[in-house]
Amino acid sequence: MGSGTAVAPEPRRPRSKASPEAALIEVKDLTKVYGEGESTVHALRGVSLSVYHGEFVAIMGPSGSGKSTFMHLLGCLDRPTSGSYRLGGQEVSGLTRDQLAAIRSRQIGFVFQSFNLLSRTSALENVELPMLYAGIPLKERVDRSRVLLEQVGLGQRMDHRPNELSGGQQQRVAIARALANGAPFLMADEPTGNLDSASSEEIMTLFRHLNKDKGITVIVVTHAQDIASWAERIVTFRDGLIIDDRRARRTEASS
Amino acid sequence: MSIGVLMRTAWMALQRNVSRSLLTMLGIIIGVGAVIASMAIGSGAQAAVLKQIESLGANLIIITPGSITSGGVSLGSGSRTTLKLTDIDAIASNILGINGVAPYSQTSAQVVAGSANWYTVIGGTTPAWPSVGNWNIAQGTFFTKQDVDRVAKVAVLGSTVAANLFPAGGAVGSIVVIKSVPFQVIGVLASKGQSGFGRDQDDIVIVPITTHQERLTGQTWINSIMISASTPETVAGVVDSTERLLRLVHHLAPADPDDFTIRNIANVQQVRAATVQTQALLLAAVAVVSLIVGGIGIMNIMLVSVTERTREIGLRMAVGGKGRDILLQFLIEALTMACAGGLIGVGMGIGISFLVSMLGHWPTVISGFSVFLGFVSAALTGVVFGFYPARRAAALDPIEALRYE
Is the pLDDT assigned to residue B344 strictly greater than 90? yes
- Please give the distance of CA A19 from its chain centroid, rounded to a whole number: 24
- Among the listed residues A107, A92, A105, the one whose alpha carbon sits nearest the alpha carbon of residue A30: A92
Q: Do A97 and B321 touch (CB under 8 A)?
A: no
- Is the CB of residue B399 less than 8 Å away from at least one CB of chain A? yes
Total residues found in chain B within this entry: 405
| Contact criterion met (CB < 8 Å) for A133 and B320 | yes
pLDDT the model gives residue B334: 93
B366-378 pLDDT, tens per residue? Answer: 888 889 988 999 9
Residue count of chain A: 255
Instruction: Tell me what pLDDT residue B266 has.
Output: 67
Residue B360 near residue B336 (C-beta atoms within 8 A): no
Q: Is A43 exposed, middle or buried (0-12, 13-18, 19+ CB in 10 A)?
A: buried
- Mean pLDDT in chain B? 87
Residue (of B247, B270, B260, B250) closest to B77 by Cα position:
B260
Distance (Å) from the alpha carbon of A131 to chain B's nearest alpha carbon: 9
Contact B312 A181 (CB under 8 A): no
Domain A25-247 classification at class level: alpha beta
> Touching check for B402 and chain A: CB below 8 Å?
yes
Q: Which residues of chain B make contact with A130, given a CB cutoff of 8 A?
A: 319-320
> What's the pLDDT band for B263 if we cut at 50, 70, 90?
confident
B320 and A110: CB-CB below 8 Å? no
**Cα angle vertex B277, ends B273, B278, to 5°?**
120
Chain B residues closer than 8 Å to A134 by CB: 320
Higher pLDDT, B273 or B37: B37
Residues of B in contact with A116 (CB under 8 A): 311, 314-315, 318, 402
Residue B242 has pLDDT above 60, yes or no: yes
| Greatest CA separation for chain B | 104
What is the per-residue pLDDT across B41-72, written as a single tens digit (0 to 9) for each? Answer: 778 777 777 776 666 667 888 888 876 555 55
Cα(A210)–Cα(A214) distance, integer angstroms: 5
Give residue A7's pLDDT.
52
Across the interface, whether the CB atoms of B320 and A101 are under 8 A apart is answered yes
Tell me the domain boundaries of chain B.
3-51+270-403, 99-231
**Residues of chain B numbered 364-383 and touching chain A (CB < 8 Å):** none
Task: Return d(Cα B152, Cα B171) in angstroms, integer.
Answer: 18
pLDDT at B153: 94
Domain ranges of chain A: 25-247
Is B280 in the A-facing interface, judged by CB distances under 8 Å? no
pTM of the model as a whole: 0.70
* Contact flag A120-B16 (C-beta cutoff 8 Å): yes
Contact yes or no for B157/B120 (Cβ under 8 A)? no
Strands B175-178, A217-221: pairing kind = unpaired
β-sheet bridge partners, residue B157? B188, B205
Query: Per residue, what are the HEC states of B164-181?
Result: HHCCCCCCCCCEEEECCE
Q: What pLDDT is stored for residue B328 in this prediction?
A: 93
Determine the distance in angstroms separating the CA of B296 from the nearest CA of chain A, rounded to an integer.
28
Which of A215, A218, A149 has its CA nearest to residue A188? A218
Q: Which residues touch A146 (CB under 8 Å, ≥6 apart)?
A: A2, A3, A6, A124, A155, A158
**Distance of residue A143 Cα from the nearest chain B Cα, in angstroms:** 17
Pair B259, B65: CB distance under 8 Å = yes
Q: Give the span between the Cα atoms of B354 and B37, in whole angstroms.
A: 9
Taking CB atoms and an 8 Å limit, are B322 and A120 in contact across chains? Answer: no
List the pLDDT tens digit at each of the 255 positions of chain A. 444 444 556 655 544 444 456 789 999 999 999 988 888 889 999 999 999 999 999 999 998 899 999 999 999 999 999 999 999 999 999 899 999 999 999 999 999 999 999 988 999 999 999 999 998 999 999 999 999 999 999 999 999 999 999 999 999 999 999 999 999 999 999 999 999 999 999 999 999 999 999 999 999 999 889 999 999 999 999 999 999 999 866 554 444
Nearest CA to CA, how far is B398 from chain A (Å)? 6
Using a CB-CB distance cutoff of 8 angstroms, which residues of chain A are in contact with residue B16? 120
Q: Half-sphere exposure (CA, 13 Å, Cβ side) for A191?
A: 34
Contact assignment for A106 to B399 by CB distance below 8 Å = no
Any chain A CB within 8 A of the CB of B248? no
What would the pLDDT profile of B107-139 be if each residue is shown by its tens digit?
A: 999 999 988 999 999 999 999 999 888 889 999
pLDDT band at B172 (very low <50, low <70, confident <90, very high): very high
Q: Greater confidence, A212 or B279?
A: A212
* Count of alpha carbons within 13 angstroms of residue A28, beta-carbon side: 6
Neighbour tally for B270: CB within 10 Å:
11
Contact assessment for residue A129 and residue A174, using Cβ atoms and an 8 Å cutoff: no
d(CA A162, CA A170): 6
CA B9 to chain A, closest CA, distance in angstroms equals 10
Pair B55, B134: CB distance under 8 Å: yes
Q: Which residues have C-beta within 8 Å of that of residue B129, sequence separation ≥ 6?
A: B102, B104, B135, B142, B206, B226
Rounded CA separation A72/A78 (Å)? 6
* Residues from chain B contacting residue A122 (CB–CB below 8 Å): none
What share of chain B has pLDDT > 70, as a percent? Answer: 91
Q: Rounded to an integer, what distance in angstroms lies between the CA atom of residue B302 and that of residue B325?
A: 16
Sign of CA dihedral A19, A22, A24, A30: negative
**Strand, coil or helix: B236:** helix
C-alpha B276/C-alpha B104 separation (Å) is 29
Percent of chain B's residues with pLDDT above 90 = 47
Lowest mean pLDDT among A191-195, A207-211, B232-236, B393-397: B232-236
Question: By the 8 A CB rule, do B142 and B226 touch?
Answer: no
Q: Which residues of B touch A106 (CB under 8 A)?
A: 320
